[in-house]
Every structure is written in C-alpha cells, then in structure tokens.
Amino acid sequence: MFKIFKTILDHQNSCLIIPHQSPDGDCLGSSFALSHFFDQNKCTNHILMDDTIPTNYLFLEKENMIRSMDVLDNNFMYDYIIILDTSSKDRVGALPEVLTYGKQIIVIDHHKTNAYFGDHNIVDMISSVGEILYNMMIDLNYAFDAEIAIGLYTSIITDTGEFRYSNTTPEAIRAVANLFETGFDFEQVNRNIFSNQPLSKVKLKSEALSNLKLYHNNQVAIMSVTQEMLNRLKCEMFHSDGIVEAGRDIEGVEVSVLLKEMNPGNIKVSLRSKSFVDVSEVSLIFGGGGHVRAAGCTVNDHLNAVEEKIAKLLGERLS
Ligand SMILES: [Mn+2]
C-alpha cells in the first residue's frame, strides 16, 4: 500500500502537499506531519495552503508553506503532488490548474465517497489521514519524533471528536499511545486546538444556536450562518466550525444541519448525524460527499428553499 513512499524516499523526490478547502485539523495536522517526514528524509517539499488557517491551528504553520498558488514556480515541476483528506478534485484546496505542477498525483484519503482521482490512491476508511500516515511511517520503520507526533495527534484527535465518534478504534488509540511515547506536549496542543476560540466565533455560535429550528419530532436541528451575521459579528465563514456539532449534541436530535450562506443563492450544507442516519448519502444527492456521520454539499438555491429541501429529505429517512 505504501510502496510509493519508499520510491519517494529512495529517489529523494520533490513533493507538493495540498490539503482541502476550508482546512480542518486532520488535513492541517497530516500536512504538517508529512512535510516534517519529508524534511527529515531530505525530500524537497512544500505545503500549498491557499486558504485561511483557523487561528486555533496556526501552531501547524511551517516555513515551507506556500500561501498562494501565484507564488509557485512556473518552471518547476514537482515529482509528486500529494492531496490529503480530499475526496474529489473540486475539493482540492487550490485551483484545478495546480495539478499541472506535478508529474504524478497521490491521493491519501479516508472518505468513503473518494473518487480515486489520483495516479496513486491510498484510500483507507480509518479514523483520519493522520492515522493512514502513521501506518505508512510504521511500515517504513520510521522513528517518530515530537514534531511529527504533534501533527498526527492533531489529525486523529480532531477527526475522532476526541475519541467520541464511531471511527475511534483500538488501532487509532494505540497510534496515539505510541505518539505519546515521543513526549510531545499534548496539553499544549489541546489548549491550542480546543481552548483558544476567538470571542467573535463564540458569539456566532451562540446566535446560530439560539435561532435553531427543529423538525420531525425534534430529531432534526437546522441552523444557519448568513453573510449578514458574519458582517455584524466580524467573523469569517470558517468561524462557523463547531456549530453543527453543537446542534447534534442536543438530546433527541439525530441529524444536525448547518446552512452556510456563502453568497445569496449559494449555500454550503454541513450535516452531522448521531447514531443511524447516513448523511453522506444525503450529501451525495447534491453532488457532495463525506462520511456516514459527517458530510457536506453545496446547493445553489436560496437559504429557505435549501432548508426546506434538506428537512424533507431527512424526514423521509427518519420515518
Ligand atoms: Mn479527515
């Protein structure tokens, strides 16, 4: 499964690492860890980070991060472009032209909706891309250090919801236990990720929650974040992170939905389920993707119309 990495290390190939749009803990943590891994094996590498990094993940910034595609050298062709945690081409965290900057594409992902769009596809439905990279490093007999542990730990701990979600396995917990052996400061990492939210973000969450609407015997919770709210509270859309999970965590709610108004008529939908609804199946109806308990899609319609459509589809799956 990881032969391609042996080839990269043996030839000291050059790699461009690309996370997905609206980066989260898994894609940022795994980019950080993979980049350190390449540094230590003397492989030229950059991380292309063409999007805002949420402030709680800024500790994963690295000096080889390229913050805009415009800065890429037109005359340089990477041996490999490595796309992390991204199920389809249109979710890659940069314009599609970025793929012409590499000779071959490696996709590393754990979404069951993955489209296998790389020349090499390492797709394993385990907790996180961080855990896949952990397995790769174990396979290559790599001795973990604290820096790499910080990245992989961030991936696993965020994507498993701090070991609360169904993707938490003995293997994922064992991986973290082994990473702890490096002695990295996990308390500091947890403070960075979980106890470091901007006040404006907390206010956005509280407003979204207080306007929550319930459907189908209170089993479906739907919330919205509009452009008006963002302007008024001085927030960016990535500050809506965590709201949909708060809806799911309400007693009796099976599915929580967050409607993110990117533009009037362009709504990003985040879906979370608690125990039995497969939300990836609903997101696929609109061309989106994701996991059984966490998925998303984009719908080109007005907020109220999208709310109606999603509520109806979920109602059919609950009755
Ligand atoms: Mn992930």
- pLDDT, one tens digit per residue, over 246-304 is 999 999 999 999 999 999 999 999 999 999 999 999 999 999 988 899 999 999 999 99
Q: Give me ligand 1 centre to Cα 74, in Å.
A: 30
- For 98-115, the pLDDT digits (tens) are 999 999 999 999 998 899
Query: How confident is the model at residue 42, as a pLDDT?
Result: 97
Per the CB < 8 A criterion, the answer to whether 73 and 44 are in contact is: no
Beta bridge partners of 48: 66
Q: What is the pLDDT of residues 133-158, one digit of tens each?
A: 999 999 999 999 999 999 999 999 99
**CA–centroid distance, residue 121 to ligand 1 (Å):** 15
Rounded to the nearest angstrom, the distance between the alpha carbon of 181 and the centre of ligand 1 is 24
What's the gap in Å between 84 CA and the centre of ligand 1?
A: 8
Query: Distance, CA 216 to ligand 1 centroid (Å)?
Result: 30
242 CA from centroid of ligand 1 (Å): 15
Q: What is the reported pLDDT for 251?
A: 98
Q: Are 69 and 94 in contact (CB under 8 A)?
A: yes
- Number of Cβ within 10 Å of residue 4's Cβ equals 19
Find the angle CA(254)-CA(255)-CA(259) to the nearest 5 degrees.
Answer: 160
Provide the pLDDT for residue 96. Answer: 87
How confident is the model at residue 319, as a pLDDT?
Answer: 80
Report d(CA 214, CA 165) in Å as an integer.
23
* CA distances, 175 to each of 27, 126, 188 (Å): 17, 12, 19
Backbone angles phi, psi at 263, to 5 degrees: -145, 160
Distance 133 CA to ligand 1 centre (A): 12
pLDDT in tens, 207-217: 999 999 999 99
Residue 13: name the closest of 69, 92, 98, 77 by CA: 77
pLDDT band at 25 (very low <50, low <70, confident <90, very high): very high
Question: What per-residue confidence (pLDDT) applies to 258?
Answer: 98
Ligand 1 centroid vs 218 CA: distance in angstroms? 29
C-alpha 110 to ligand 1 mean position (Å): 7
pLDDT value for 311: 98
Which residue matches tokens 């590499």? 102
Tell how far the Cα of 72 is from the centroid of ligand 1, in angstroms: 26
Q: Are 91 and 287 in contact (CB under 8 A)?
A: no
CA of 166 to the centre of ligand 1 (A): 14
Q: What is the pLDDT of residue 191?
A: 98
Distance 266 CA to ligand 1 centre (A): 24
C-alpha 232 to ligand 1 mean position (Å): 31
Give 85 Cα–ligand 1 centroid separation in angstroms. Answer: 5
The 3-state DSSP class for residue 169 equals coil
**Domains with residue ranges and CATH for the chain:** 3-194 (3.90.1640.10), 199-318 (3.10.310.30)
Average pLDDT, the chain: 96
Determine the distance separating the centroid of ligand 1 and the alpha carbon of 199, expressed in angstroms: 26
Residue 9 clears pLDDT 90, i.e. is over it = yes
**Average pLDDT score over residue span 71-100:** 93
Distance 59 CA to ligand 1 centre (A): 18
Query: 26 CA to middle of ligand 1, Å?
Result: 5
Query: For residue range 43-66, what is the model confidence (pLDDT) as tens digits?
Result: 999 999 999 999 999 999 999 999
What's the pLDDT band for 184 if we cut at 50, 70, 90? very high
For 98, the 3-state DSSP assignment is helix
**Contact (CB, 8 A) for 87 and 109:** yes
CA distance 289 to 294: 9
For residues 222-231, average pLDDT: 98
Q: Distance, CA 27 to ligand 1 centroid (Å)?
A: 6
Beta strands in 125-274 (DSSP E): 213-215, 220-225, 255-263, 266-273
Q: How far is the CA of 48 from the centre of ligand 1 (A)?
A: 17
DSSP collapsed to 3 states, 232-248: HHCCCHHHHCCHHHHHH
CA of residue 197 to ligand 1 center, whole Å:
21
Query: From the CA of 149, how far away is ligand 1's center (Å)?
Result: 17
Percent of the chain with pLDDT over 90: 94
Q: Are 307 and 314 in contact (CB under 8 A)?
A: no
β-pairing verdict for 220-225 and 255-263: parallel
